[in-house]
Amino acid sequence: MILNMKVIFRTSFFCFAIFCFAIFCIALQSLFFSSCQRTQASDSQETGSLILGFSQIGAESAWRLRNTQSVQDAAAASGVQLIYFNAEQKQENQIRAIRSFIAYQVDVIAFVPIVSDGWMHVLEEAQFAGIPVLICDREINVSNENLYAGFIGTNSKQEGLIAADFLLQKFADDNQGSVRINRPIRIVELSGTEGSSVAINRGLGFRELLDEHNAGTEGPKFEIIYSASGDFLRSKGYELMSLILDSNIEDIDVVYSHNDSMTLGAIEAMKERGIRPGTDIVIVSIDAEQAAIEALRRGEINCVVECNPNQGTNILRLASLLAQGETIPRITYMYSRVFTEWDDLSLILPRGY
């Protein structure tokens, strides 16, 4: 009986020793893998690689496609993992995309807001998750600007000012002007998506300079006789211009269009009705797509204000700084140019979009 008890005790002790050794091995293995994961994460951060969630509003124009491609090209060149989402012109899709970026725990979120308002809640969620947000191309309205790190894009109000300045020169009462009209200059405006910062600011800048001019005593006055949103779409530019030309609106001197797609649609509607765009009606457009530059060369557009879509390199540079915990400028404007009928248009290089 005593012998059996000794055997049982030895067997139990041996089993307990094996069990303890197994637990020790598992703990050691877990510690090893945990250390490896931390080392890999550290190595990844040191080499500058990051995960960027990027939400684009859509693919409505050659400009937008080029804007997206510039981000994708810059990400590939930088070795950045890009998670891309096309919102198809719907804010709810963008909000859903941003929330998916948060769930995926990306390092930085960048997005092009289709409209200015309605972003507070989702940006608060990103802030709570500790993910910095970069606003691209279009600006937003939020009561707490600390919800996003900065903005990268073009100065859309300045674009409107440049468009208006061209008209002041075009219709000036001096040797520089080439058109003489002894009445107010009548303008049709094809604006962009309602509620978008670019549509708002291109309209504000344009009106600001014309109002300042109208308050003076020199040159003809300018009057916006019709303004409607064409959503930055060529089809809607065509529809709006067809509606205007078939209505009782008379003596249209100028079409100011917020982007080239709508402009090209409007030109098509004019041609169908025997109107010579650029001659019978002065046309000012924004974006500077290749098709618009070709229309400028043909004399069908009088002025094209560039909105530079090649923002990818700067977006990736700013995202990299944010991923490293750095502070970036609140506003980063892209360099843009203006092309007019008075320029040597042979010097304009292919646009790439």
- Going from N- to C-terminal start, the domains of the chain cover 51-153+310-333, 156-307
pLDDT, tens digit, 9 for 90 and up, residues 174-219 = 544 556 667 899 999 999 999 999 999 999 999 999 999 999 988 8
Sign of the CA dihedral 296, 66, 227, 160? negative
Q: Which one is predicted more confidently, 249 or 69?
A: 69
Rounded mean pLDDT, 14-41: 40
Q: How confident is the model at residue 49 (pLDDT cuts 50, 70, 90)?
A: confident
Q: How much of the chain, in percent, has pLDDT values that exceed 90?
A: 81
- Average pLDDT of the chain, as a whole number: 88
Would the CATH topology of 51-153+310-333 be identical to that of 156-307? Answer: yes
Of the CA atoms within 13 Å of residue 269, those in its CB half-sphere come to: 21
pLDDT at 47 over 60: no
pLDDT at 34: 33
- pLDDT score recorded for residue 219: 84
Mean pLDDT of the 163-182 span: 77
SS (H, E, C) 286-306: EECCHHHHHHHHCCCCCEEEE
Question: Cα–Cα distance between 166 and 168 in angstroms, integer?
Answer: 5
Name the pLDDT band for 248 (thresholds 50, 70, 90): confident
- Mean pLDDT over 8-34 rounds to 43
**Average pLDDT, integer, range 129-149:** 97
Cα–Cα distance list, 92 to 87, 88, 114 (Å): 8, 10, 10
* 158 band by pLDDT with thresholds 50, 70 and 90: very high
Q: Give the pLDDT score at 183.
A: 87
Taken in order 87, 92, 94, 98, is the CA torsion positive or negative? Answer: negative
pTM of the model: 0.84
Q: Is the pLDDT reported for residue 222 higher than 90?
A: yes
User: Does the pLDDT value for residue 154 go beyond 70?
Assistant: yes
Residue with tokens 């070795």: 79
Q: Span 58-79, mean pLDDT? A: 96
Residue 180's pLDDT is what? 63
CATH number at 156-307 = 3.40.50.2300
Q: How many CA atoms lie within 13 Å of 80's alpha carbon, on the beta-carbon side?
A: 29
Check: CB of residue 229 under 8 Å from CB of residue 193. yes
Separation CA 191–CA 202 (nearest Å): 8
Residues above pLDDT 70, as percent of the chain? 84
Question: What is the identity of the amino acid at 200?
Answer: I
Show the tokens assigned to 289.
């797509």
Per CATH, the number for 51-153+310-333 is: 3.40.50.2300
User: Hey, which bits of the chain come out as E strands?
Assistant: 51-56, 81-86, 108-111, 133-136, 150-153, 185-191, 222-229, 254-257, 282-287, 303-306, 331-333, 338-340
- Per-residue pLDDT at 37: 32
pLDDT confidence of residue 3: 39
Tokens matching residue 116: 């200015």
H helix or E strand, kind and range, residue 184: none
The tokens for 18 are 């094996």
Tell me the C-alpha distance between 268 and 124, whole Å. Answer: 45
Residue 179's pLDDT is 60
pLDDT score for 238: 98
Q: How confident is the model at residue 90, as a pLDDT?
A: 96
Specify the higher pLDDT residue, 17 or 337: 337
